C-alpha cells in the first residue's frame, strides 16, 4: 500500500494571548506514513479517532523554561491531549489490532507508540466500554472531565441535603447532576443561552447567562453559597467569596480566566476566606485514579449515561484540521458542550 | 466617695485608611462614675487592667451597613476588644469581688456589666491562672492569639517532620515554637530587625526582614513551602503560592494588608492552588473553644510559659489614653511583640 498523508497540528509559535491559527498552531500535511510497513519498534500503530481540546492546553503553549504543573509543548512538534484511538497493528503484548485505547496522544492522524506504558500523564491503556457508548464520550462525561467531576465531588464536596451549590460553565453538567442527586440547590452560570437552557434541562434550580446577568446579584438573591465548583477564577471567585456561607467549600479545578493573562487575574477578597472560615481545595484528577475509583465511576456514571439518567452534551469538530478552531472555542467559551475533535470514524 | 473620671476611647468617625487619632478615635474624659454607689442591676462592676489591640479591630471601624464577620463598632461609643479586668463589686452569683475576668470589654476604665453571660463574642468569665502568670499575657500568648495559634496548628497544620513552614509577622512566635516541636524547618519574616532577632532566638531556622530582603528570593532559596501560616495576604500570599510545594496547606488567620484597603489587596496567583493541589483553610478561633481544647492549652502552653520553655514578647502601652497609639502600631506593624494597653494595676 502506498504511503498516505499523516496530518498533524503543530505548535509553531508561542502565543501572547489567544493562539492565532496558521501562526501559533499550524495544520501540517507534509508527512506521509505507510500503514502496512512502517516499523513499530515493539510498540503499536494507532489511528486517532477523537481528541479532546481543553482550556489547560493553553498553559502548555508557553516557553519551555517557564515552570508549571505540566511541561510546555515542544515547539515544532504536534500538540498533545487526551485522545481515543483504535489499534491498527501491534507488536506489544498488551495490545491487539482492534483494541480501543485512551492516552495522551499527539494531534496527528496516525501514530506509532513504541512504549505505550511510558506515555506521560495518561499511559496508553485499553478502554472498556461495557455499555457500548459513543467513543467521543470517553473524552467528556466518561473521560477526564467526568472523572474530575465525579472524583472531586465525592472527595471534597461534603455536600449535605439542602446546601446551595454554584457551578460555573456548562462543563459542570455532571457536577450539577451529582449535586441534585445529593439533594442540593444548584445555581449554574454559563456564557450562552443554549448552555443556560441545558443547565435547566438537567436540573439546575437557577441558571443564568453571566454575560447578561450579574453574578453578584444572582448569588446575593439565591445564595449564600455553601459549595462553589470553580472553573473560572477572577472576578467570579470574588463574587463567590462575597456571597459565601460560613464554612463554605471551594473546589478549584481550573481557572480559565487566568490562562490568557500573563500576570494572572486578580482576586481581591481573599481576606473573606478567614472571615467566613472558607476552605479552598485545589486538586489534580491524576491523583485520584485507582481500581476502586474507576469501578465506582463505571457503576455510577457509565450506567447513568447508558440509561439516560445522566445527561451530557458535546460539540464535535469534524476533521483534525479543525483542532485549532476547537481549542479557541473552549478558550473563548463559545463551545456547546464538551468540545471534541472528531478525527476519523473507525 | 466622690465620683471619679471614667476615661473612654470613643469611635468618633469612620476612617478611610489608618484611623486618625483625635478625629476617628477620641480619648474622652467627660464621664464620671461613683464606684461605691453606682447601681449594678444584678451585674458586676469591673476595673479594666489590660486591653488587647489587634489588626481585626480596623474591620469593625466601618459603616454599620457594611456586612462583615463581626458587627461594626457603633459610632460615638467606646471601641471594644478582648480585655482582662478585676471585679470590684458583684451582684451576680457567678462573680465575686477580686475575681479576674476576661471578656470583650469596652475601652474604658470602669464598666458595669449587667449581664456578664451575654457579652458578645467572649462572654465574661473568670480566668484561671494556676501558674500565677502576668495578667497581660492573658491577652497574648495565653489569650486569643495563643489560642488561635495553638488550636489551628493542632487542627489544620497536619505537620510532618522535615516539612517547611513559613510564618509571617512576629505575632507567630507560638506557631514557630509549635512547628519546631513538630520537627519542621521554620522560615519567619517580620518587619523589623528586632522581631527577626526574636524569631531566631525562639528557634526559627531562617528569619528575615521583609522590608530589606525579598520574600520571593528567600522562599525560592529556602522553600518550597509545605505549610504557610498567613497573617498578611496580598503579595506575600502570591509569593507563597509561587513557592508552594505540591499539596501545600495555607492556614489563613488574618490578612492585615487587606484591612486598610477599601477594595482589598489583589492576589494574582490563585490558579496555582489548582496546579499544585493546595488547600487553604480559613477559620475563626471562636469555633474551637471547648473544655478539652482549653485544658490541653493550659497543660501545654501555660506550663511552657511558666517554665520558660515557651518564649513570648509583649509591648505594653501604659494608660488607656494610649489605646489609639497601640492600635496604630499593630496596624502598621511597628509594635514589638503582642501589643497590650495596660490600663491600670490592680
Q: What confidence score (pLDDT) does residue B173 get?
A: 87
CATH number assigned to the domain covering B4-140+313-342: 3.90.180.10
CATH number assigned to the domain covering A4-140+312-342: 3.90.180.10
Which residue ranges make up each domain of chain B? 4-140+313-342, 144-286
Q: Are A35 and A88 in contact (CB under 8 A)?
A: yes
Q: What confidence score (pLDDT) does residue A335 get?
A: 84
Q: What confidence score (pLDDT) does residue A118 get?
A: 86
Is A275 in Cβ contact with B264 (below 8 Å)? no
Q: What confidence score (pLDDT) does residue A6 get?
A: 98
Kindly report the backbone phi and psi dihedral angles of residue A252, in degrees, each rounded to the nearest multiple of 5, phi listed first: -100, 105
Q: What confidence score (pLDDT) does residue A170 get?
A: 54
Best mutation target among B59, B275, B284 (most A Cβ atoms within 10 Å) is B275
Sites in chain A below the pLDDT cut of 70: 170-171, 254-263
H or E stretch covering B329: helix B323-332
Q: What confidence score (pLDDT) does residue A343 get?
A: 98
> A268 in contact with B at a CB cutoff of 8 Å?
yes
How many Cβ atoms are within 10 Å of A160's Cβ, its own excluded?
Answer: 11
CATH number assigned to the domain covering B144-286: 3.40.50.720
> B71 in contact with A at a CB cutoff of 8 Å?
no
Is A266 in Cβ contact with B268 (below 8 Å)? yes
> B279 in contact with A at a CB cutoff of 8 Å?
yes
Sites in chain B below the pLDDT cut of 70: 170-171, 254-263
A4-140+312-342 and A144-286 have identical folds:
no
Tens digits of per-residue pLDDT, A212-243? 999 999 999 999 999 999 877 788 999 999 99
Backbone torsion region of residue B98, taken as left when φ is above 0, otherwise alpha when ψ lies between -120 and 50, otherwise beta: left
A270 vs B59, B237, B277: nearest CB: B237
Amino acid at each position: 500500500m502506498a504511503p498516505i498523508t499523516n496530518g498533524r497540528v503543530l505548535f509553531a509559535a508561542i502565543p501572547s494571548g489567544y493562539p492565532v491559527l496558521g501562526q501559533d498552531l499550524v495544520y501540517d500535511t507534509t508527512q506521509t506514513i505507510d500503514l502496512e510497513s512502517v516499523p513499530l519498534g515493539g510498540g503499536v500503530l494507532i489511528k486517532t479517532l477523537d481528541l479532546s481540546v481543553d482550556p489547560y492546553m493553553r498553559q502548555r503553549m508557553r516557553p519551555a523554561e517557564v515552570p508549571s504543573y505540566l511541561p510546555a509543548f515542544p515547539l515544532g512538534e504536534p500538540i498533545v491531549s487526551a485522545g481515543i484511538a483504535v489499534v491498527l497493528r501491534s507488536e506489544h503484548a498488551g495490545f491487539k489490532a482492534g483494541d480501543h485505547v485512551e492516552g495522551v496522544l499527539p494531534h496527528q492522524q496516525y501514530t506509532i507508540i513504541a512504549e505505550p506504558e511510558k506515555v506521560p500523564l495518561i499511559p496508553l491503556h485499553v478502554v472498556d466500554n461495557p455499555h457500548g457508548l459513543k467513543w467521543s464520550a470517553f473524552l467528556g462525561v466518561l473521560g477526564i472531565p467526568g472523572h474530575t467531576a465525579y472524583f472531586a465531588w465525592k472527595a471534597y464536596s461534603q455536600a449535605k441535603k439542602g446546601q446551595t451549590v454554584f457551578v460555573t460553565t456548562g462543563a459542570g453538567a455532571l457536577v450539577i447532576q451529582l449535586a441534585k442527586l445529593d439533594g442540593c440547590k444548584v445555581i449554574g452560570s454559563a456564557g450562552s443561552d443554549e448552555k443556560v437552557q441545558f443547565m435547566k434541562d438537567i436540573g439546575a434550580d437557577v441558571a443564568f447567562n453571566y454575560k447578561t446577568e450579574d453574578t453578584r446579584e444572582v448569588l446575593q438573591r439565591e445564595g449564600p453559597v455553601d459549595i462553589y465548583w470553580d472553573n473560572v477564577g477572577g472576578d467570579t471567585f470574588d463574587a463567590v467569596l462575597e456571597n459565601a456561607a460560613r464554612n463554605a467549600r471551594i473546589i478549584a479545578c481550573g481557572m480559565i480566566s487566568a490562562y490568557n493573562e500573563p500576570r494572572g487575574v486578580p482576586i481581591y477578597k481573599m481576606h473573606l476566606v478567614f472571615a467566613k472560615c472558607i476552605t479552598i481545595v485545589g486538586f489534580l484528577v491524576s491523583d485520584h485514579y485507582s481500581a476502586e475509583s474507576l469501578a465506582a465511576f463505571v457503576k455510577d456514571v457509565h450506567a447513568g449515561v447508558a440509561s439516560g439518567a445522566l445527561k451530557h452534551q458535546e460539540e464535535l469538530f469534524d476533521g483534525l484540521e479543525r483542532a485549532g478552531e476547537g481549542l479557541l472555542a473552549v478558550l473563548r467559551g463559545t463551545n456547546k458542550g464538551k468540545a471534541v475533535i472528531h478525527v476519523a470514524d473507525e
